[in-house]
Amino acid sequence: MLKIVEIAKAWIAAANPTSEQKEIAEHRISICNECPHKTYVKALNTFTCGLCGCPLQKKIFSPNPGQKACPDKRWEK
């Protein structure tokens, strides 16, 4: 999947997630919360992935399978 398509789909899903998307996102953010790459960006007042720069509140809704969505391959789903 093209990166721009992945990003667009993640932002759309984050705006109105299904129950399955919510469940996956909650699982992913629990992993991100323990990850050393989680970075706070003061200028944006949000947390991002320190490896790819994506805002975590949207990244967790990536439609890609876990291993493909997380640049550090920490997500199983």
Question: Is residue 52 a part of any domain in this protein?
Answer: yes
What is the average pLDDT across 49-57?
96
Q: Which SS3 state, helix, strand or coil, does residue 55 take?
A: strand
Q: What are 5-37's pLDDT values in tens digits?
A: 999 999 999 999 999 999 999 999 999 999 999
Question: Is residue 74 a part of any domain in this protein?
Answer: no
Q: Which SS3 state, helix, strand or coil, does residue 40 take?
A: strand
Q: What is the pLDDT of residue 37?
A: 98
Domain range spanning residue 36? 3-69
Taking the complete model, does pTM exceed 0.85, yes or no? yes
Question: Is residue 76 a part of any domain in this protein?
Answer: no
Total domain count, the chain: 1
Cα–Cα distance measured from residue 69 to residue 50, given in angstroms and rounded to the nearest whole number:
14
Mean pLDDT, all residues of the chain: 96
Q: What is the pLDDT of residue 26?
A: 98
Write the CA distances from 73 to 3, 16, 19, 37, 40, integer angstroms.
16, 26, 23, 12, 20
